[in-house]
Amino acid sequence: MDIQLEKKKGLRPKHYGYIALGVLVLFVGYQLLFNTSVSTFRTEKEKLSIAAVTAGKFDDYITITGNVAPITTIYMDAYEGGRVTEKLIEEGTMVKKGDIILKLENINLYEQILNSESNLALKQNDLRSTRLNFDSRQVEGRRSLATASTDLQRLKRNYEQNQALFDEELISKEVYQLSKENYELSQQQYDIVKAQTETDDELRKTSLTGLDTDLARMQKTLGMVYQRLDHLNVRAPADGQLGFLDAEIGQNITQGQRIGQVNVLTDYKIEADIDEHYIDRVKRDLVAVLERNGNEFPLRVRKVYPEVRNGRFRVDLVFTENKPETIRTGQSYNIKLQLGESSDALLLPKGSFFQSTGGQWIFVVTPGSDEALKRPIRIGKQNSKYYEVLEGLDAGEQVITSNYDSFGEAERIVLK
């Protein structure tokens, strides 16, 4: 009779392998769940810039760099082309309006002047000859009119006498009829001479007026040519300082070529380039301040240029009160341009993190720990020191403000 043996309870050797495999799977799952779900970057705390978010007054201004320029710059372009024969004034010299700076020569212009003078002389001779001819005809016409008038009076008187004698039958009808016909012929001749004289007078007036107009036009043209000749002397257009002069003796200058400029130094302006980010906020009459040796000099935006070049646009500022005593053209100054009124806000110190994040997020240091976590934020205005925080941060929190480029895609920073 067989005896049935009971199975022993407990772990057998093969069970230990299963247990070890299960523990390994749990460990790996834990690591995958809690360590790889958050990308982590480890760095030394001393290599980072950490700043605190504070509550305070946000001054809505930007700091810009401007260069001193004359209040007005007048460019000199050549009215006439020619070869430079003489250079009388050098760059940087103070000039008065009308001072001759350069002398040019233009052979073609000289020839034009000679031709114009010759044409004018011919026109004057023609006018003189025409006037003499008309004067002679006028004298002759008046003489003929006077003769015709005298003949008419004499024949009229003879006709009237013969008419009286014929009525009394003292003369023949033939004598009376002949005197009548002579009188009527004289009347017609007088009318013809008078009409011819009047026509000649009218023609004389019209012709001489036209010739006088042509002569005056030619004289005016010659005057303009003489004026062109005077333009070969390049003169200062205003009182000021000769800024630059692009001309040397022997150089050929073309008509309209820019050859220099005069800086009017009665006052100064500041020319500054501003980032296009502010183009919608910078308007005329905004106020600014220039600080120099502990003194402040108020400015006003006089002109905003609409053109944007290389991400920047230009403005002109002028002094509204006093200006630095030692101000010179070309000097550079730092200027605070006020864009708006001061207001209460959360202030985030400026840092290079902005170039990495565009101000959309930041690493915030967890209080009481050595880690910083990525957090979305919203930034408003900015000045040279602070960003205005609109959302995402509270006063007193610590944030990393240094550059994030080395962090890669990390969302958690461990500070060693």
- Give the integer Cα–Cα distance in Å for 181 and 370: 144
Mean residue pLDDT of the chain comes to 85
Nearest residue to 255 (alpha-carbon basis) of 279, 277, 234, 276: 234
Mean local confidence (pLDDT), 165-191: 89
Cβ-count burial of 375 within 10 angstroms (0-12 exposed, 13-18 middle, 19+ buried)? middle
Mean local confidence (pLDDT), 178-207: 87
Q: Is the pLDDT of residue 8 over 60?
A: no
SS3 380: strand
Q: pLDDT confidence of 312, banded at 50, 70, 90?
A: very high
Nearest residue to 286 (alpha-carbon basis) of 62, 68, 65: 62
Q: Are 273 and 316 in contact (CB under 8 A)?
A: no
For residue 313, the tally of other CB atoms under 10 A from its CB is: 19
DSSP 249-308: TT-EE-TT-EEEEEEEEEEEEEEEEEEGGGTTT--TT-EEEEEETTEEEEEEEEEEEEEE
SS3 335: strand
Tell me, which fold does domain 38-58+343-415 have in CATH?
2.40.420
Sequence length of the chain is: 416
Instruction: Number of helices (H) and strands (E) in the chain: give both, helices first.
Output: 4, 22
Mean local confidence (pLDDT), 321-347: 87
Q: pLDDT confidence of 185, banded at 50, 70, 90?
A: very high
Q: pLDDT confidence of 28, banded at 50, 70, 90?
A: very low
- Which is more confident, 271 or 228? 271
Q: Is the pLDDT of residue 300 over 70?
A: yes
* Assigned CATH class of 62-95+254-338: mainly beta
- Give the integer Cα–Cα distance in Å for 342 and 386: 13
Q: Are 363 and 379 in contact (CB under 8 A)?
A: no
Six-digit token pair at 174?
A: 């033939």
Q: Is the pLDDT of residue 319 over 80?
A: yes
pLDDT tens, position by position, 357-409: 988 999 999 998 889 999 999 998 888 789 999 999 999 999 999 999 888 88
Cβ-count burial of 117 within 10 angstroms (0-12 exposed, 13-18 middle, 19+ buried)? middle
Q: pLDDT confidence of 21, banded at 50, 70, 90?
A: low
Per-residue model confidence (pLDDT) at position 321:
87
